[in-house]
Amino acid sequence: MFVSSLAKTEQPPGCLERVLLVGQPGNEALVIEGHLRARGLDVRRAGTAQDGLSAAQSYAPDVLILHWTALDVSGEKFLRLLLDEKLPQLPFVIANAALFDFAPFLPNGEGQAALEAGADALLSGAPRSPEIATLLTVAQRHQARIAGERERSTRIQAKLKELQGRFDSLDSDLIEARKMQQALMRDRMLDFGPAKLSLILRSCGHVGGDLVGHFPICDGITGFFALDVSGHGVSSALMTARLAGYLSGTNPRQNIAIQEDPAGGWRPRSPAAAVADLNELVMEDLETDHYFTILLGYFEIATGKVTMVQAGHPHPALQTADGTVRYVGDGGLPVGLIPGADYADIELTLGPGDRLAILSDGFTEATLKDGTFLAEAGLTRLLGASRSLSGPAMLEALVWDLGTALADEGFQDDLSGVLLEYAGNPKT
Q: What is the pLDDT of residues 278-299, one digit of tens each?
A: 999 988 877 777 899 999 999 9
What mean pLDDT do residues 373-388 have? 95
Cα 141 to Cα 8, 33, 83, 90, 182: the distances in Å are: 22, 21, 21, 14, 60
pLDDT of 4:
36
CA dihedral (191, 197, 202, 208) in degrees, to 10, reads -120
pLDDT of residue 116: 85
| Residue 349 or 123, more confident | 349
**18-153 and 184-422 have identical folds:** no
Alpha carbon distance 358, 388 (integer Å): 18
Tell me the whole-structure pTM to 2 decimals.
Answer: 0.63
Q: Check residue 101 and give its pLDDT.
A: 37
CA 339 to chain centre: 37
pLDDT of residue 167: 66
pLDDT at residue 412 greater than cutoff 90: no
Domain residue extents for the chain: 18-153, 184-422
Residue-wise pLDDT tens digits, 85-108 = 888 788 999 988 654 333 444 444
Arithmetic mean of pLDDT over the chain:
85
Minimum mean pLDDT range among 141-145, 236-240, 301-305? 236-240
Look at residue 147 in the predicted model and tell me its pLDDT: 80
Q: Supply the pLDDT for residue 99.
A: 42
Q: Could you tell me which residue, 127 or 247, shows the higher pLDDT? A: 247
- What residues contact residue 252 under an 8 Å CB cut-off, 6+ apart? 215, 217, 258, 260, 266
The pLDDT assigned to 410 comes to 73
**Cβ partners under 8 Å of residue 332, min gap 6:** 309, 310, 311, 312, 313, 343, 344
Q: Is 408 exposed, middle or buried (0-12, 13-18, 19+ CB in 10 A)?
A: exposed
Q: Are strands 221-229 and 258-260 parallel, antiparallel or unpaired?
A: unpaired
The predicted pLDDT at position 134 comes to: 87
Report d(CA 418, CA 240) in Å as an integer.
16
pLDDT of residue 113: 78
The CATH superfamily assigned to 184-422 is PPM-type phosphatase domain (3.60.40.10)
User: Residue 274 pLDDT more than 50?
Assistant: yes
pLDDT: which is higher, 277 or 236 = 277
CA–CA dist 130, 111 (Å, integer): 20
- Name the nearest CA neighbour of 255 among 239, 240, 274: 274
Strand partners, 317: 327, 357
State residue 14's pLDDT score. Answer: 58
Q: Dihedral of the CA atoms 219, 220, 221, 225 (nearest 10)?
A: 110
Q: How many CB atoms lie within 10 A of CB 137?
A: 12
Q: CA–CA separation, 63 vs 42, rounded Å?
A: 11
106-120, 301-315, 389-403: the lowest-pLDDT one = 106-120
CB-CB neighbours of 213 under 10 Å: 23
Q: Do strands 415-422 and 305-311 pair parallel, antiparallel, or not at all (unpaired)?
A: unpaired
pLDDT of residue 100: 34
Under 8 Å between Cβ of 213 and 247: yes
- Residue 175: pLDDT band with limits 50, 70, 90: low
Integer Cα distance of 173 and 154 in angstroms: 28
Report strand pairing: 63-67 vs 18-22: parallel
Residue of 37, 58, 34 whose CA lies nearest to 46: 58
Please say if the pLDDT value at position 9 is more than 50. Answer: no
CATH fold of 18-153: Rossmann fold (3.40.50)
Which one has a higher pLDDT value, 400 or 27? 400
Q: Does residue 8 carry a pLDDT above 50? A: no
HSE-CB of 214 using CA atoms within 13 angstroms:
22
- 71-80, 200-209, 353-362: least confident range: 200-209
